Structure 1
Amino acid sequence: MASDEANQAGNSGKDNPSEKELSERLRRLDERLGTIKAGEQAEAAKLRKQEGDPSAIGKAMRLSSEFVAGIVAGGLVGWVIDKFAGTSPWGLIIFLMLGFAAGLRNLLRASNMLGKTPGKQE
């Protein structure tokens, strides 16, 4: 009750704000809220961008394993040829290079870069 009396006493000396003043205050508040909301949206977009794409990690793992598999397969074939033919270390060296080339080819094929021209977008 005491607070009601204080409010009445405080408001009795002031004029009530006009419709124009209230509209202006509402417009300014709306602008400030819009600015705050835009900032929050920008911050959320920044966080999403930093998180990364989980499918990109899977693709990177696939590409790296394709490359390594080509080199390992070439090395194993070269080692087996050297073991049976007695041409050590030439079979291993040659087939490691062939495995490297096969790994690069698999890498380009898997990343869909093989057969595309730089200026052409599909």
Structure 2
Amino acid sequence: MSQSDEPRSEALKRLDADLKAFEKRRAGTAPGSGAAAASQAYRLMAGLIGGLLGGLGFGWLFDQFAHTAPWGMIGGLLIGIGVSTYGAIRKAGQMSAAQPEEPGPGPAPQVDDEDE
């Protein structure tokens, strides 16, 4: 190589090393990591609580207009619980499908119970 190419190759080596270090740091925030898992759990809980409170609010609104208290709130609460549970189960299924499969421990060893 000529002398003008040497600084470029050194710069490329440093850039490659920086990229590898960045990828290692980024791997810590992968979907399976603790912070990402906690974030997803908080999203699921927010969906459940939001659905419950939303259904309760719509039930209260229905009661105010139809004068059917407390049946609108009870119905809205039940509908909110159902819809939010369905959404949480659906989202949890999507999240588990997106997770890469990691090999776990192998099958348990077979134990022979017969005394010989």
The alignment partner of 1:112 has SS state of helix
| Mapped partners of 1:72, 1:84: distance in 2 | 19
Q: Partner residue of 2:89?
A: 108
Q: Partner residue of 1:90?
A: 71
Normalized per residue, the structure richer in helix is: 1
Q: Partner residue of 2:29?
A: none
Q: Partner residue of 2:52?
A: 71
Which 4+ stretches in 1 moved above 2 angstroms? Answer: none
Aligned length: 64
Tell me if 1:57 matches 2:38. yes
Identity %: 30
When Rg is computed on C-alpha atoms for both structures, the one with the higher figure is: 1
The Cα of 1:67 is off from its aligned counterpart by: 0.5
| Mapped partners of 1:83, 1:69: distance in 2 | 21
Cα RMSD over matched residues? Answer: 1.9
The alignment partner of 2:93 has SS state of coil
